[in-house]
Structure 1
Amino acid sequence: MTIMDTSYIQRQPLGVILIMGAWNYPLCTLLIPMLGALAAGNTVLLKPSEHCPTVARLLATLVPNYVDKKICQVLCGGVDVCQKLLASERFDHILYTGGVGGGRAVYAAAAKFLTPVTLELGGKCPVYVDSNVDLMMAAKRITVIKNFNCGQTCVAPDYVICHRKVLDEFLKNLGEAIEEFYGKDKRASPDLSRIINEMHWKRLTKLLSETKGKTVYGGEVVHDDLYIAPTVVIDVGPEDSLMSEELFGPILPILTVDSPKEAVELIRPRAHPLAVYVFTNSNDVFEIFKEETTSGALVQNDCGVQTLSAELPFGGVGQSGFGRYHGKHSIYTFSNPRSVMLKSRSEFINQRELITSRGPTNTVTYFGVLFTFKGKRVCNNLLELLKLFDEVAHALPTLHQTMEVTNNYLIRRLMHSLVPDQVYRNTFKRLGDYLRYNLLRTRVRNNRPEQTILYHRHCGQPKSLVHILQSCCISLGDRCTRHNRDAKRLEKSLRRLGYTVFEELLAPTSTSFIESDLIAVRERRATVLDVSIDSDVRGVTMWNEKKQKCGADECPVAVISALCALNSHVDRLWSTNL
């Protein structure tokens, strides 16, 4: 594309959306995604859970009174109806809320028609209680969401990991919170509901009877009423029956640890949950969970409140589901983001050059079509494009004074679209940050992650690339610092951590180092990412060597000459890395 072209994203309706609700929240799991699907321009078929026949009949009666039957309909029935529906009808998207078993069945049926699916499942949501937190506040907030709807909530805390120092006090506060909310006769409390059916009641009571832990609060069960009191169990191990599956009931097992790291080690081997809750006053502790755990949501000092925010998407990861909805994210889920390109017919663009300069799409040479002027390339690849923005931002205090005399169409076009002075510098800095970020993301998409500079933000290796880059203040996303300073700090950090920095990479020499040194790195059992780190160091050094402090009259010439002076070595290097 050129600077004269226009591109945008058109949000298209997908078509017919099937929304299958759950029994624990039969209205919310149907109507909230329905609103997003209708707002995106789709038609909707609602399938309520067979475990809530009264709600299903209510919806079947009321929905036609408010929504045209051609737009939204309600289908009632059991599992057999769902099976026939999925086997015979082609939908454009399916959203299912329920258990993992049902999610697998829906996913398998949708695969027949290659129908995209959003699965909102469950999981064991952990809660970590740190030693420095207000324990009464933590106990109350955990108690409320744990026993809301009798614990039959997908984002409810499933188990607590408590710091050993505060276990006794936390248990005391937990008991006081339960007494305060539900009274002494908890079975008579209007705020405690019942288990949905006998099958789930028997499952929960069996898990409770098989546990090796000690019940310190609650434990009362009544079969005729499908009642289970709010129950707290301590001395629970990772292999206990209460830790074998999602509880989905008012039973709260508590494990103890001596540090946040130990808590993370208990969470990470398990399937990714819908949410991780961390009660702590320490930002460092919260950062540990943010960087070393994976979940659909992460909440500090509360439970379940993330579902109330219209700005946050709701969904899981892995076995807790995939796909998101809520607010604008429902529009994203239920629409097709079609890319639209409007090509310019400007006389300034040499169409023949655009056609002949295109190369394979998996190499940097593809980006040779980005900027051309009268048949001559201004930028040969994205690296040079970054250099262009850096040079322009550097020279702008004087460059804007001579915009009328410069003969470079690209610079003049960019400058006329902005306003003078500091806005120039800020705008070009943002453009440069954006291109750096997307360049690195592009390298990831080319299926060569072992040679990507900024690749994985949550790598579990203790000396992973992301930790090195963060320690050196190298830019991640929109955080950008001056590269000439960071290159030196990066090199020092690499040497200190035992990584190899090849001296010849700091100068624009041949590319023969790639194969030989890559083999040497592998023989030393070091990460292959070393080569990419070194390539970035060399690229940063070249970038800074090309910077020039120019006068007003020579700025345009210096900018373009600095870019065009980059030899084919840069092309070969980046093409090889990609």
Structure 2
Amino acid sequence: MSCTLQYTPIGDIPRIRNELGAVFNSGRTRSIAYRKQQLLQLCYLIEDNQERIRQAISSDLGRPRNETDFLELSGTLLEVKDAYDNVEKWSAPQKSPFSLLWFSLSPVTRKEPKGVVLIISPFNYPYFLTLTPLSAAIAAGNTVMLKPSELTPASAALLAELIPKYLDPELVQVVNGGVPETTKILELRFNHSNGRVAKIICTAAAQHLTPVTLEVSWRSVFLRFRDLNCDVDFDPGKSPCVIDPKCNAKIAAKRIMWGKLVNCGQVCLSPDYVLVPESFQDEFVEALQNAYHELHPTDPKTSGMLGRIVNERHVERLKGLLDNTNGTIVFGGEVDKEARYVAPSLIRDVKRDDSLMSEEIFGPLLPVVPVKDVDEAIAVINSMDEALNIYVFTSEKKFKSKVMDNTRSGTVSANDTILHVMANDAPFGGFGASGYGYSTGKAAFDEFTHFRCTVDNPNWYDLVEYTAMSARYTPYNSASLQRLVKFLHPRLPPRNGGTSAMTKLWYVLGVAVAGAACTSLAVLFL
């Protein structure tokens, strides 16, 4: 599928932002019925255009058709349908628990839309990482400026064509373009921003105090803003695999190799490197070799079972990582710049300071890093910026707990790769250098929602003489105010963490009353 991506005129971008603001201010998006109708239309946008989406992704990324069906089409449709099914429940006002202190205020939390939101999507999953946050933003009642990645022009052009056909064209407006257009967008004020351009988005958002949700990939930042004079320190988002020698090596290797080669390794959740005990490296490398040959019995360059790198710049970067590694290439190593092909490659005996450990790989290269034991594996992980995900392969609960308890990451997956992003209503997002906020399920809806506390204190409360809160008024009555302060003061547990004497007394009284009641019933019925 070939196409020419039409960039949005830069002068039109502020007008589009203002039009979205006017539509939001009209109150149109407040209606739950309207939101549901738009979400249903978004479902059918995917349902009706599956073949065109497959062709666009094939043109942009060379991704196999079945892989697109499984991860992109199914995953996106599940998320949009989940938002459609739950928008009433997610949007319902929430009453605070009853409290003797504040019952008269009737505190309620309203779930209100933030306003005009900006979604800047990455290239690697041009529909899942675009339409999933879009569905959350619509469910929350916002209007949306949508900026697809210019690195996937066929997908960006298709989105620009389909969205105004299926959705209210005044609800969502697509802006296409490269660095100049994105720069103009970031000059504008939004009520929330979602994207993967990390520090540059945060810097721009700070000018307007705009809250952001980030799934950080420094590679996306570099490619978008390479032509800008920006002082940006790029953070790698390397997701490690920690291997227990007692794990099922065959299954672990197969799941890791599948996760590494999905979308040709261009996945934010891709297993980036493997930490394995030195004594187990030979056995596990052999298991990874066997898994690769099982998954790709014929040459993936010609079989159609492996996608392509998004552009030549990425190919050059990956070739540089391979050329400069001091590890041993077990298989692979081929690079064809013209075909945008980088062969799946396994590299063993990789050191901590190797080129392959210097940045997020975002390609089909898998380094194996030998360590002494799990403690050294944890030390390696903690010496780097926070990963988007940590993969742990073990059948031992203690091993899993040790890794989870002593590391930090956006998510953790035990004994599998990638799939947890598709788990309905499980929050998916980064932590620290790997991003913040959430992009799936109700957690994504909450990102695009303002939680607005409301109270309504009735007049009669001041008409009742000697209510506790009447002591707040001046001129102060010291005795009344002290009673109020004492009433408000929470009862703290003993410093040693034991049970207070009053709690014990109430417990004894409760047991005595219950015993007396049982005795009375026994006498009555026997």
- TM-score normalized with structure 2 length: 0.69
What is residue 190 of structure 2 aligned with on the other side?
91
What is residue 496 of structure 2 aligned with on the other side?
537
> Could you tell me whether the CA contact under 8 Å between 1:7 and 1:340 is conserved in 2?
yes
Matched residues in 2 for 1:176 and 1:554: separation? Answer: 70
Moved over 6 A (4+): 375-378, 551-555
Structure 1's unaligned 5+ residue stretches are 359-367, 387-534, 556-578
What is residue 203 of structure 2 aligned with on the other side?
108
In the TM superposition, residue 189 of structure 1 has moved relative to its aligned partner by 2.3
Matched residue of 2:405: which SS? Answer: helix
Task: Quickly say closer, same or farther: Cα 1:286–1:553, change in 2 above 3 A.
Answer: closer
Equivalences for residues 116-515 of structure 1 within 5 A: 116-122=211-217, 123-344=237-458, 345=460, 353-356=468-471, 379-383=487-491
Letter in 2 for 1:75: V
Matched residues in 2 for 1:182 and 1:20: separation? Answer: 34
Matched residues in 2 for 1:350 and 1:24: separation? Answer: 66
In the TM superposition, residue 383 of structure 1 has moved relative to its aligned partner by 1.5
Matched residues in 2 for 1:79 and 1:274: separation? Answer: 26
Task: Quickly say closer, same or farther: Cα 1:223–1:2, change in 2 above 3 A.
Answer: closer
Matched residue of 1:44: which SS? Answer: strand
Matched residues in 2 for 1:313 and 1:551: separation? Answer: 42
In the TM superposition, residue 161 of structure 1 has moved relative to its aligned partner by 0.4
> Could you tell me whether the CA contact under 8 Å between 1:127 and 1:278 is conserved in 2?
yes
In the TM superposition, residue 200 of structure 1 has moved relative to its aligned partner by 0.9
Matched residue of 2:425: which SS? Answer: coil
> Could you tell me whether the CA contact under 8 Å between 2:245 and 2:277 is conserved in 1?
yes
What is residue 166 of structure 2 aligned with on the other side?
66
> Could you tell me whether the CA contact under 8 Å between 2:213 and 2:438 is conserved in 1?
yes
Letter in 2 for 1:96: G
Matched residue of 1:278: which SS? Answer: strand
What is residue 471 of structure 1 aligned with on the other side?
none
> Could you tell me whether the CA contact under 8 Å between 2:312 and 2:338 is conserved in 1?
no
Matched residues in 1 for 2:444 and 2:265: separation? Answer: 26
In the TM superposition, residue 215 of structure 1 has moved relative to its aligned partner by 0.7
Matched residues in 2 for 1:554 and 1:348: separation? Answer: 38
Equivalences for residues 537-576 of structure 1 within 5 A: 537=496, 540-541=499-500, 549-550=508-509
In the TM superposition, residue 551 of structure 1 has moved relative to its aligned partner by 7.8
What is residue 42 of structure 2 aligned with on the other side?
none
Matched residues in 1 for 2:105 and 2:168: separation? Answer: 42
Matched residues in 2 for 1:276 and 1:228: separation? Answer: 25
What is residue 62 of structure 2 aligned with on the other side?
none
Matched residues in 2 for 1:381 and 1:539: separation? Answer: 20
What is residue 46 of structure 1 aligned with on the other side?
146
> For 1:392-442, what per-residue CA distance to the aligned partner results, in whole angstroms no more than 9, with x for missing partners?
xxxxxxxxxxxxxxxxxxxxxxxxxxxxxxxxxxxxxxxxxxxxxxxxxxx
In the TM superposition, residue 303 of structure 1 has moved relative to its aligned partner by 0.8
Matched residue of 2:182: which SS? Answer: helix
> Could you tell me whether the CA contact under 8 Å between 1:12 and 1:337 is conserved in 2?
yes
> Could you tell me whether the CA contact under 8 Å between 1:16 and 1:45 is conserved in 2?
yes
My pick for the range that moved more, 291-300 or 2-11, is 2-11
> Could you tell me whether the CA contact under 8 Å between 2:461 and 2:467 is conserved in 1?
no
In the TM superposition, residue 159 of structure 1 has moved relative to its aligned partner by 0.2
Task: Quickly say closer, same or farther: Cα 1:542–1:250, change in 2 above 3 A.
Answer: same
In the TM superposition, residue 338 of structure 1 has moved relative to its aligned partner by 0.5
> Could you tell me whether the CA contact under 8 Å between 1:311 and 1:327 is conserved in 2?
yes
Matched residue of 1:287: which SS? Answer: helix
Letter in 2 for 1:549: V
Structure 2's unaligned 5+ residue stretches are 1-100, 218-236, 474-479, 515-526
* Root mean square deviation, CA, Å: 2.7
Letter in 2 for 1:9: T
Matched residues in 2 for 1:74 and 1:376: separation? Answer: 56
Alignment pair present for 1:20 and 2:120: yes
Matched residues in 1 for 2:431 and 2:465: separation? Answer: 47
> For 1:490-539, what per-residue CA distance to the aligned partner results, in whole angstroms no more than 9, with x for missing partners?
xxxxxxxxxxxxxxxxxxxxxxxxxxxxxxxxxxxxxxxxxxxxx72177
Matched residues in 2 for 1:552 and 1:44: separation? Answer: 59
Count of equivalent residues? 389
Matched residues in 2 for 1:170 and 1:351: separation? Answer: 76
Alignment pair present for 1:56 and 2:164: no
In the TM superposition, residue 242 of structure 1 has moved relative to its aligned partner by 0.6
Task: Quickly say closer, same or farther: Cα 1:536–1:46, change in 2 above 3 A.
Answer: same
Matched residues in 2 for 1:79 and 1:551: separation? Answer: 70
What is residue 9 of structure 1 aligned with on the other side?
109
Matched residue of 2:129: which SS? Answer: helix
> For 1:467-495, what per-residue CA distance to the aligned partner results, in whole angstroms no more than 9, with x for missing partners?
xxxxxxxxxxxxxxxxxxxxxxxxxxxxx
> Could you tell me whether the CA contact under 8 Å between 1:183 and 1:189 is conserved in 2?
no
> Could you tell me whether the CA contact under 8 Å between 1:124 and 1:245 is conserved in 2?
yes
Matched residues in 1 for 2:333 and 2:156: separation? Answer: 33
> Could you tell me whether the CA contact under 8 Å between 2:269 and 2:388 is conserved in 1?
yes
| Structure with more contact order per residue of length (Cα contacts < 8 Å, sep ≥ 6) | 2
